[in-house]
C-alpha cells in the first residue's frame, strides 16, 4: 500500500517554521532568551510575514546577540550598546515598508540606552521593541542591572540597594502606544503579544522577563524561573486573531474585551480576576504602581492606543521608501538652483 509522507506545515506564504529560524544560538543552555527567540520565530511564521521585509536590530549584550538566531533571510544589524533606537529610527525613515524588530536587554535599554529608549517611545517609531529582561549583566559575568529589584541578590549574596527601573511604567508615562509585559516561560501569552505587536502601528514595547540561568536563577533573585512563575499575575488571557483569519467565531462577548489593531486584526483579552481596561492610560499606571507595591509580576497587555499617529506617518513622507526614490524625485532641477542663486545676488 502506497503511503504519502505528509509535507511540513506551511503558513499563508507557503513557508515552513524552519524558514523563520536563524543561526544556532551560542547562549547558555536553558537561557530565557532562547525561549523568546523561539516565540519570535513562531509569531513571524504564524503571521506569514515575508522575511525580507523584516529588519532585525539590536545593541550590545546577550539579548542583542539573538537577532542572529531568528529570521536568517532578514537583514540584521547588531549596532552599538544602547543605541539601537536611533538606528531603528533611521532605518524606518529610510524605508517605511520594513517591519522592524529590535531586541534589547535591561542593561542595553535601562542603563546605557535609557536616553534613546525614552526618545524612541516619545516619537512612537513604528517597531517592535523587545526587552529581554533578566536584571543582570550576563556578558560581563553577573553585575546588577537597573531593572534588578531592590533587595534581590547576586549569586555571591550581594544585595541590590537601588530601586528598579520599571520599563513598562516608564513607557506608559511617556505615552508609548503599546506596552506589554510577559515571561519567557509563557509561550502562549508571548506569541499573542508578539503577533499583536506586529499588527500595531507605532512602538510596541514588550518587556519580557527572561531568567539568566547562569547568573540570576537562584533563591535571592526576583527574576528567576521560580520567582517569575510564583509571582506572575496575568491581567487577562490573551488571544490574537490576525486580519487574514476568520474572526467572529472566536470571541465570547460576555467575558472578553476586544482590541482592534490598525490592520483589522483583533486582540482578545479574556477577563481574569480583575476588570482591566488596557486603553485607559491612567488606570494602567495605577495598576502597575499597585502591583509593584505588592511585589507582583503583572503580565499581559498593559496599555494600548491604536489612534496615536506613529512617527513616520506624522512626517507626511511619500509612500515609497526614501531609500530607493529615483534621482528625478530627490534632485531639484537647474531652475531651482538658478532661483536660489538669484535670491543671493
Partner 1 sequence: MAVTLSATGAGGLLDRETVINDFSIQVATVNGSGSQSANLVLLRSIFRMGIPVSGKNLFPSNIAGLPTWFTIRANKHGYVARKAQNELFVAMNPETIAEDEAQLMPGAVFIYNSDLKFTPSREDVLAVGVPFGAIVAQTCQEVKLRKLVTNMVYVGVLAQLIGIDLNEIEAALAKQFKGKEKAATLNFSAVQAGFDWAATNLDFKVPYRLERMDATAGKIIIEGNRAAALGCLFAGTTVVAWYPITPSTSLCENLIGYLEKHRLDPETGKATFGVVQAEDELAAAGIVFGASWAGARAMTATSGPGISLMNEFVGLAYFTEIPGVIFDVQRVGPSTGLPTRTQQGDLMALYHASHGDTKHLVLIPATPQEAYELAYQAFDLSERFQTPVFVMLDLDLGMNSWMADPFPYLDQPLDRGPVVTAEDLTRRVEQAPEGAKHDVFGRYRDVKGDGIPERTLPGTPHPLAAYFTRGSGHTSEAKYSEKPADYTWLVDRLARKHETARKYVPTPVEDWQGAEVSIVAYGTSEYAVQEARDLLAAQGISTNYLRVKALPFTPSVKEFVKKSRRVYVIDQNRDGQMASLLKLEIDPADAPKIRSIRHYDGMPIDAMSIVEPVLEMEKH
Residues that bind partner 1 (CB under 8 A): 50-53, 55, 57, 67-68, 72-80, 83, 85-91, 93-95, 97-98, 115-116, 118-119, 123, 312, 315-319, 321-325, 327, 329-332, 334, 336-338, 340-341, 344-345
Tell the smallest beta-carbon distance from residue 150 to partner 1 (Å).
29
Of 241 and 312, which has the nearer Cβ to partner 1?
Answer: 312
Q: Which three cell numbers stand for residue 222?
A: 526576583
Cα distances (angstroms) measured from residue 59 to each of 67, 82, 99: 10, 5, 18
CB 269 within 8 A of CB 259: yes
Instruction: Give the closest residue to 99 by CA, choosing from 169, 201, 188, 1.
Output: 201
Of 72 and 308, which has the nearer Cβ to partner 1?
Answer: 72
The residues, any chain, with a CB within 8 Å of residue 92's CB and separated by 6 or more, are: 98, 100, 125, 126, 127, 311, 312
Tell the smallest beta-carbon distance from residue 171 to partner 1 (Å).
16
Tell the smallest beta-carbon distance from residue 271 to partner 1 (Å).
39
Of 9 and 327, which has the nearer Cβ to partner 1?
Answer: 327
Tell the smallest beta-carbon distance from residue 263 to partner 1 (Å).
19
Tell the smallest beta-carbon distance from residue 60 to partner 1 (Å).
8
DSSP 232: E
CB 46 within 8 A of CB 191: yes
Give ∠ CA 130-198-280 in degrees, rounded to 5.
80
Of 162 and 323, which has the nearer Cβ to partner 1?
Answer: 323
Of 102 and 242, which has the nearer Cβ to partner 1?
Answer: 102
Tell the smallest beta-carbon distance from residue 34 to partner 1 (Å).
17
Cα distances (angstroms) measured from residue 325 to each of 92, 203, 329, 332: 15, 25, 6, 13
Beta strands in 15-58 (DSSP E): 54-58
Of 119 and 271, which has the nearer Cβ to partner 1?
Answer: 119
Tell the smallest beta-carbon distance from residue 313 to partner 1 (Å).
11
Give ∠ CA 239-222-143 in degrees, rounded to 5.
120
Of 84 and 191, which has the nearer Cβ to partner 1?
Answer: 84
Amino acid at each position: 500500500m502506497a503511503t504519502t509522507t505528509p509535507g511540513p506545515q506551511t503558513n499563508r506564504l507557503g513557508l515552513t517554521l524552519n524558514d523563520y529560524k536563524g543561526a544556532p544560538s551560542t547562549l547558555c543552555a536553558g537561557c530565557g532568551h532562547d525561549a523568546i527567540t523561539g516565540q519570535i520565530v513562531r509569531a513571524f511564521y504564524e503571521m506569514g510575514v515575508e522575511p525580507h521585509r523584516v529588519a532585525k536590530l539590536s545593541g550590545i549584550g546577550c539579548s542583542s546577540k539573538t537577532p542572529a538566531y531568528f529570521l536568517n533571510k532578514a537583514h540584521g544589524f547588531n549596532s552599538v550598546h544602547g543605541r539601537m533606537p536611533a538606528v531603528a529610527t533611521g532605518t524606518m525613515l529610510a524605508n517605511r515598508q520594513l517591519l522592524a524588530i529590535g531586541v534589547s536587554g535591561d542593561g542595553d535599554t535601562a542603563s546605557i540606552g535609557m536616553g534613546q529608549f525614552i526618545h524612541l517611545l516619545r516619537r512612537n517609531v513604528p517597531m517592535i521593541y523587545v526587552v529581554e529582561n533578566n536584571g543582570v549583566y550576563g556578558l560581563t559575568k553577573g553585575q546588577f542591572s537597573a531593572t534588578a529589584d531592590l533587595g534581590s541578590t547576586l549569586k555571591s549574596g550581594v544585595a541590590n540597594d537601588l530601586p528598579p527601573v520599571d520599563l513598562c511604567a516608564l513607557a506608559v508615562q511617556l505615552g508609548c502606544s503599546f506596552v506589554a509585559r510577559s515571561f519567557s516561560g509563557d509561550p502562549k501569552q508571548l506569541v499573542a503579544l508578539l503577533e499583536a505587536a506586529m499588527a500595531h502601528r507605532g512602538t510596541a514595547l514588550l518587556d519580557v522577563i527572561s531568567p539568566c540561568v547562569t547568573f540570576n536563577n537562584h533563591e535571592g533573585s526576583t527574576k528567576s524561573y521560580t520567582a517569575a512563575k510564583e509571582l506572575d499575575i496575568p491581567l487577562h488571557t490573551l488571544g490574537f486573531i490576525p486580519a487574514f483569519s476568520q474572526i467572529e467565531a472566536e470571541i465570547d462577548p460576555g467575558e472578553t474585551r476586544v482590541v482592534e489593531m490598525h490592520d483589522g486584526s483583533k486582540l482578545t483579552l479574556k477577563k481574569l480576576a480583575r476588570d482591566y481596561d488596557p486603553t485607559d492610560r491612567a488606570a494602567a499606571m495605577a495598576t502597575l504602581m499597585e502591583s509593584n507595591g505588592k511585589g507582583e509580576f503583572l503580565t499581559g497587555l498593559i496599555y494600548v492606543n491604536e489612534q496615536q499617529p506613529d512617527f513616520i506617518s506624522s512626517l507626511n513622507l511619500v509612500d515609497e521608501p526614501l531609500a530607493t526614490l529615483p534621482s528625478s524625485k530627490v534632485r531639484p532641477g537647474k531652475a531651482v538652483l538658478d532661483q536660489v542663486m538669484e535670491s543671493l545676488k
